Every structure is written in structure tokens, then in C-alpha cells.
Structure 1
Amino acid sequence: MKLEDAIKKFKEHGYKSTAKREDILTYFTEADGYRTAKDLINYLEPTYAGISFDTVYRNLHLFNQVGILETTELDGEKHFRISCTHHHHHHFICKDCGKTKEIDVCPMHEVENTLRNYLIEGHKFEIYGLCPACMSA
């Protein structure tokens, strides 16, 4: 998702776009992979001295609720990335650097066959490990 699309989507949900929120979205549109709230605070700190975790988390969860950011949990900590909306896919996520690689294979056909009498409302499929760069480091 591009920055302009994210800001537009945020406004369409009735939220005000501020410089701080646009800086948060800029960070995620430029980041390669999942990032933590601490990563974001380190990025924002030079511009917004003393920015609180509460402010950061509130905005991260709001962006996630609106569908601008996706979340995953790595080592017990929530990580965020800009949403991929161009087509259905899943991700390999590097546990070291947080970079992702799209996986176009979806196991849902097999799961739907196994759960024929169940109502499936959604799914998330992620594979975790180390990317080639982190393996060679």
C-alpha cells in the first residue's frame, strides 16, 4: 500500500490525518518487513522528542483496525507492517530482520475439505525462519 492510499483509507474511516500519523505511515511504507513499536519510536524520536509508547501503540492499533497495518507476533512481541492488498498471498517472515517474502501458495483448499461443516471466517498463514542474508551473517 502506498502512503497516499493509506492516508486516504484512514480519512475514509473518519479519522484525522496529522503530521505524526503521516510520519508513522511513511515509516511503514518505506520499511521492508515487520517492525516493532520500539523500532518506530526510534525513528520518530528525533522529530517528536519524548513520544510515548502509549501514543505509538494507540496509533498502531488504530491503523491495524482500519486495515492499513498487518500484525504478527514474533518472540512474544507484536510486529507491524503495511498491509498488502493487491492480491491474496501469505508470508515467510525472517525472525532476525523481519523482512518478508510473499508466498502465493494457500493451504485453505485442503483446510476447507477437512472442515466441511464449519464456517471459516478468515485465516492467516505465516512461515517463520531466517532469510538468506541473516543465515550468512
Structure 2
Amino acid sequence: MKTEEAIKIIKQHGHKYTDKRRDMLNIFVDEDKYINAKHIQRGMDQHYPGISFDTIYRNLHLFKELNIIESTELDGEMKFRIACAEHHHHHFICEQCGDTKVIEFCPMEEIKSKLPGVEIKQHKLEVYGICEQCQLA
């Protein structure tokens, strides 16, 4: 997803557009990997000195609610990334740098065959490990 698409979603849902929100979205788009709230605050602090975690978390919650960002938990900490606007897929997530790689395969048909009689409402598959770059470092 690009910043303009995200801003459009924010406006369509009746929320206010602000430069802070645009700048925060730009961080997600530029990084294009899982990052924590502290990383976002550091990036925002350059233009908005003293920006509070309250402001960061309030916007993270809004972006998550509007499906603009995705979240996962790594090492006991919530991390976020810009949502993919592509077709259905899953992710490999590097536990060290937060980089992601698309996994085109979805195992849901096989999983459903192993769980007859259950109703699956939704699913999210994340595979964790160490990316090639971090293994070299």
C-alpha cells in the first residue's frame, strides 16, 4: 500500500487527515518491514520533537482498525508494517531485522481437510526465521 491509498482510506472513514499521519505512514511505506513503536517515534521526533507514545499508539490503533497496517509479535513486542494491497498471501518474517518475504503458497485447503467439521473464520500464517542478510552479518 502507498501513502496516498492509506490517506484515502482514512478520509473515506471520516477521520481527519494530518501531516503527522502522513509522515507516520511514510515511515511505514519507506521501511516496508516490521518495525516497533519506538522506531516510529524516533522517525517522527525529527519533525515533531517530543511527540508522545500516546499519539503514536493512537494512530497505530486507527491504522490497524482501518487495515492500513498489519501487526505481529516478535520477541514479546508488537511490531507493525504497511499492509499489503496484493492478492492473498502469507509472510516469512526475519526475527532480527523485521524484513518480510512473500510466501505465495497457502496451506488452508490441506488444513481444512485435516479438520473436518470445523468452521474456519479467518487465518494468518507467519513463518519466522533469520533472513539471508542477517545470517551473513
8 Å Cα contact 2:89/2:102 also seen in 1: yes
Do 2:95 and 2:128's aligned partners in 1 also have CA atoms closer than 8 Å? yes
Is 1:6 aligned with 2:14? Answer: no
Q: Give, in whole Å, the separation in 1 of the partners of 2:2 and 2:85.
A: 10
* Residue identity in the other structure for 1:45: D
Residue equivalent to 1:26? 26
1:115 and 1:49 map into 2 onto residues whose CA distance is: 52
Q: Which runs of 5+ in 1 are unaligned?
A: none
Contact 2:32–2:82, Cα closer than 8 Å, also in 1? no
User: Which residue type is aligned with residue 54 of structure 2?
Assistant: D
Query: Match of 2:46, SS?
Result: coil
- In structure 2, how many angstroms separate the alpha carbons of the residues matched to 1:50 and 1:4? 26
Q: CA deviation at 1:32?
A: 2.7
CA distance in 2: counterparts of 1:45 and 1:65, whole angstroms = 24
Provide the rounded CA distance (Å) in 1 between the counterparts of 2:37 and 2:15. 21
* Higher alpha-carbon deviation: 89-98 or 109-118: 109-118
- What is the aligned-residue identity percentage? 53
What TM-score results when the alignment is normalised by the length of structure 2? 0.97
Could you say which residue in structure 2 is the equivalent of 1:109?
A: 109
Secondary structure of the corresponding residue to residue 118 of structure 2: coil
Following the alignment from structure 2 to structure 1, what is the Cα–Cα distance between the partners of residues 111 and 41? 39
SS at 1:118's partner residue? coil
Q: How does 1:78-117 map to 2 (within 5 A)?
A: 78-117=78-117
Could you tell me how far apart the structure 2 residues matched to 1:115 and 1:58 are?
A: 38
Q: Which runs of 5+ in 2 are unaligned?
A: none
> C-alpha separation between the residues in 1 aligned to 2:104 and 2:84?
12
SS of the counterpart of 1:102? Answer: strand
Report the aligned-residue RMSD. 0.8
Write the distance in 1 (CA, Å) between the matches of 2:28 and 2:4.
Answer: 12
Aligned length: 137
**What is the identity, as a one-letter code, of the residue corresponding to 2:45?**
E
Match of 1:15, SS state, is: coil
CA deviation profile, 1:10-38 (whole Å, cap 9, x unmatched): 11111111010111111101113101000
* Structure-1 separation of matches of 2:87 and 2:118: 25
Alignment correspondent of 1:55: 55
Letter in 2 for 1:26: N
* Aligned equivalent of 1:123: 123
